[in-house]
A and B are shown apart, each in its own frame.
Chain A
Amino acid sequence: MTVHLAILPILIPLVGGLLMLLPPFAGVERYQYRRVAALFLMLAQIGCSIILMLMVVQNGAIMYAVGDWQPPFGIILYADQLSVMLVALTSFLGLGVTLYSFAGSDREGKYFHPLVQFQLLGIYGAFLTNDLFNLFVFFEVLLIASYTLLIHGGGKQKTAANVHYVILNLIGSSLFLFALGTLYGITGTLNIADMSQRVAQLSESNQLIAQAGGSLLLIVFGLKAAMLPLHFWLPRTYAAASAPVAALFAIMTKVGVYCIFRVYTVIFGDQAGDLANMIQPWVWPLAILTVIAGTVGALASTNLRTLAGNLVIVSVGTLLIAFALRTPEATAAAFLYLIHSTLVTAALFLIADMLGQQRGKALDYFVVARKIKQQGLLGVLFVVAAMAVAGLPPFSGFLAKLVILQSVTGVEQKIWVWSVILISSLITIITLSRAGTTLFWRSTPSRDASETPGVSKWQLCATFLLLGASPLLTIFGASIIEYTNNAAAQLHDIPYLIEVMNLEGNAQ
């Protein structure tokens, strides 16, 4: 059993999601069955990912050869500290999303819970695989689930946003395959660890082709991660999606960021000879511009969901800045920020939805509208989320941003990173306080609000779960920073990866 633990996070949602399509779970009126099953599956995934995490911390990274085809030929799953951390984060987010959907948004269509499971399956797979073509396959799995989840519930706005999203991602998939064909044609392998050995030994003319393939991959991952100039689809898409789906999508951009970290550290990292860190001169200015674009977008947002979407772009830019620094310390800081920003932006989408439910037709737009029924409760939640996003103590945003700022070395880099991150945090505080003032205090003389439904217990439970992680990240900050430090060191330690894969002496 423990031998197969590394593939369990992929198998549980796959089998579970398929079973949910069959009786007794199928059928519109059987939604209670599906809820119980979904809850059970999420708990199983969390338990499995925690056991996996403990095993990886104790015994080191796990290599799992699917079908026992040994590397470099078979498809390899590779669970190191970074992968299992992200798997655990995803399962935790999945639990929050599932709980929130119990309030009613899962009844807009009968396939909501199976689709969430397939989405999670794709995300886990993308985090765990160590094979570039397999990564493409898992990308497609998570994408087709996300296409259908995005349009779940129907409506003009969702359809219009979905057309853009689907077409862009299909073009992205084509580019992904072009890049894979190029890299395979040159290196003769798709295993990430094996490729990292071979890239260093390429002849000069082949290096150029590998560089072209590697740069194409950056476009693909940049599109997933919403890196400037490929970020225009994000705010509209996230604003159109229903709240639990938008919250689940908070991890999707991080999949792109993770792939950038993995591929450009392991394959085109320090050991890649002439191709070492080849995309760093591109990512560095793009990351800073992404933060600026997200911040400007946040200032211009007219509703809370679009604002949260733009804050996702800011978080992606911040992560890419930390990537562009290319030190294990900065990578470790980025991982801490990744955990924090995923959970908090997801919570912000949920809060926007709960606010919208109590403001009638005004939804979460920043206009004068009727008074919110549960002003105190939602106000506290909003303030906590806003403080965490903006990076005010005592919440996790402060700690994460502080660690990123500390990891910057070199005067010139300090000037750029410190000014960009700090100014963008200031503007975030301004936009969020402006948003909060309008949403909570500028209300028309209240009519009788007794008919407005209050927040359901599931919604509250999910939001508490996601937001509660923020102070916990601060309280257990020391041990989490230690963990991310180890994860970053393991990611940068390519000889260790080669050793786990039994690939020593394989390269000629």
Chain B
Amino acid sequence: METLYVICVGVLTFCGVFLCLRARTFSVVVGLTMLSYAVNLFLFSSGRLNLKDAAILGMSDSYADPLPQALTLTAIVIGFAMIAFVVILAMRARADLGNDFVDGRQPPDSDKFIKPNKDKV
């Protein structure tokens, strides 16, 4: 289970970091979302992974650490609000600046990398 968990967190973090380095706001927002998922899973694991352990006293012989669950819950709430903010900001930037690049302007050589889609007008 630990291996699977580690791979999940690692892949999510990798994808998040990769997407955050992209030039357009949409991929960056998706990247930030993935990073926050990875963070939530990581925080949850900081109380050690165990099966069938209750977080409530008197329910079982061994206990899970309840604090990481509280931390994860807080992190989810805050992360969600922040992602919502950045989505709105990205839309505002698209309207204000006329493009969806993080730098606010189209790179001069961007035509080489981004093919204009001629089918859709």
Interface residues of A (CB under 8 A from B): 133, 137, 140, 144, 147, 151, 154-156, 159-160, 162-164, 166-167, 170-171, 173-174, 177-178, 180-182, 184-185, 190
Contact = CB atoms under 8 A, between A and B. Distances in A.
Contact of A178 (B42, B68, B96): B42
Given A170-B32, A181-B45, 10 more contacts: A144-B81, A163-B93, A167-B32, A171-B20, A173-B79, A177-B39, A178-B39, A178-B42, A181-B46, A185-B45
Nearest to B95: A159
Nearest to B105: A160
Given A140-B78, A184-B67, A174 B35 contact: yes
Contacts of A147: 85, 89
Contact of B104 (A159, A166, A181): A159
A349 B46 CA distance: 44
B33 to A, nearest CB: 10
A185 B48 CA distance: 7
| Majority DSSP secondary structure for residues of B touching A | helix
Contacts of B38: 174
A181 B74 contact: no
Nearest to A184: B46
A5 to B, nearest CB: 26
A174 B78 contact: no
Contacts of B67: 184, 190
Interface core residue of B36, B81, B86 (most chain A CB under 10 Å): B86
A170 B97 CA distance: 21
Nearest to B25: A163
Given A166-B86, A167-B86, A174-B36, A159 B96 contact: yes
B43 interface: yes
Nearest to B98: A156
Contacts of A171: 20, 32, 35
Interface in B30-72: 32, 35-36, 38-39, 42-43, 45-48, 67-68, 71
4 pairs of A and B residues whose beta carbons are closest in the complex: A160-B104, A185-B46, A181-B46, A177-B39
B102 interface: yes
A214 to B, nearest CB: 15
Interface of B: 16, 20, 25, 28, 32, 35-36, 38-39, 42-43, 45-48, 67-68, 71, 74-75, 78-79, 81-83, 85-86, 89-90, 92-93, 96-97, 102-104
6 contacts: A144-B85, A156-B104, A159-B93, A162-B93, A167-B102, A173-B82
B43 A181 contact: yes
A162 B82 contact: no
A472 to B, nearest CB: 39
Contacts of B96: 154-156, 159-160
Contact of B97 (A160, A178, A182): A160
A163 B82 contact: no
Given A144-B85, A170-B32, A184-B68, A163 B104 contact: yes
Contacts of A156: 96-97, 104
Contact of A164 (B35, B42, B68, B102): B102
A164 B28 CA distance: 11
A173 B42 CA distance: 14
Nearest to B83: A170
A162 B89 contact: yes
B42 to A, nearest CB: 5
Contacts of A162: 89, 93
Contacts of B82: 140, 144, 170, 173
Contacts of A180: 43, 46, 71
B80 to A, nearest CB: 12
Contacts of A174: 16, 32, 35-36, 38-39
A178 B9 CA distance: 11
B97 A167 contact: no
Contact of B42 (A144, A154, A159, A177): A177
